[in-house]
Amino acid sequence: MSSSVESRAENAPQPDRAVRIAHVRERANWMRRRLLKMIFDAGQGHPGGDLSASDIVATLYFDILRIDPKNPAAPDRDRFVLSKGHCTGALYSALAGAGFFPEAELDTYLKPESRLNGHPNRTYLPGIETNTGPLGHGFPVATGIATAGQIDQAGYRVFVLTGDGELQEGSMWEAAMFAGHRGLGNLTLIVDRNRLQQGAGTEDTNALEPLADKWRAFGWEVVELDGHDVGALIDAFDAAAEPRNKPRCIIANTFKGNGVSYMHDNAAWHHGVPNADQYALALSELEAEMAA
């Protein structure tokens, strides 16, 4: 379906749920294949996190967000912030697929003078709300955007995607406390809970569990789901449109490197580049998944 503001208006007819799921799955598979090409051609990137987040990002950009690529600064647009900003392969492929810039520009990924940096830059590309890295910056900024919307009584929603390793940053919990205090019902945070960060598991580095209880203690509603189940993601994001007086945290249980056998749940692929044989195998596996 279109991702324009108008297409997600409350009075607009919406496709059948099964059609929505099939469309998002197709787009997510395309994103995985496209971002792997970007990383392979560039000789650098973060494929593990890109692949764990692809279903989440695809669901937002190709089904949920009220956005208009022809008017990316529309005041009533929904806002999406990629707080785990190193995973630009997923973000850029979604933005190109949604029509914010030509798909051919993806071939310039990480090349000299390209607009497609390793971390997103809002001064370079339309559709990017703020500059981020996996450093605990994006979520606090998204909280500020949601606060502005609450004060202005605006109708836009704010979605922010964080990595779970990123939750070890103190600024994240300052933002969580503030959002709970403000009762930011227009704010939805999604945790890409793949349980791996650079070099090790999150629980071995600085344990996060019991993660859901932490968010509830800060005054948040919490939903836990399979982050690769598009139907569950659609249902959770649809529920985010319902009036509420608490921010919502969606803990999306995912696998790093999802969709590619040798990257699956493998911390070694936090960053890295497949060789020619590995790249060919990854594409064949994703193409087989799409044909199934």
Among the listed residues 64, 49, 52, 58, the one whose alpha carbon sits nearest the alpha carbon of residue 28: 58
CA distances from 31 to 55, 96, 123, 155 (A): 9, 10, 23, 29
Per-residue pLDDT, 169:
95
> What's the whole-model pTM score?
0.95
Confidence of residue 135 (pLDDT cuts 50, 70, 90): confident
**Cβ–Cβ contacts within 10 Å for residue 204, how many?**
12
Per-residue pLDDT, 243:
84
Task: Give the CATH architecture of domain 15-291.
Answer: 3-Layer(aba) Sandwich (3.40)
Instruction: Tell me if residue 107 falls in helix, strand or coil.
Output: helix
CA end-to-end span of the chain, whole Å? 22
What order of strands is seen across the sheet that includes strand 158-163? 79-82, 158-163, 187-193, 248-253, 221-226
**Cβ–Cβ contacts within 10 Å for residue 80, how many?**
25
- Residue 241 scores a pLDDT above 90: no
Give per-residue pLDDT as tens, 101-125: 999 999 999 999 999 999 999 999 9
Least confident of 91-95, 132-136, 140-144, 174-178: 132-136
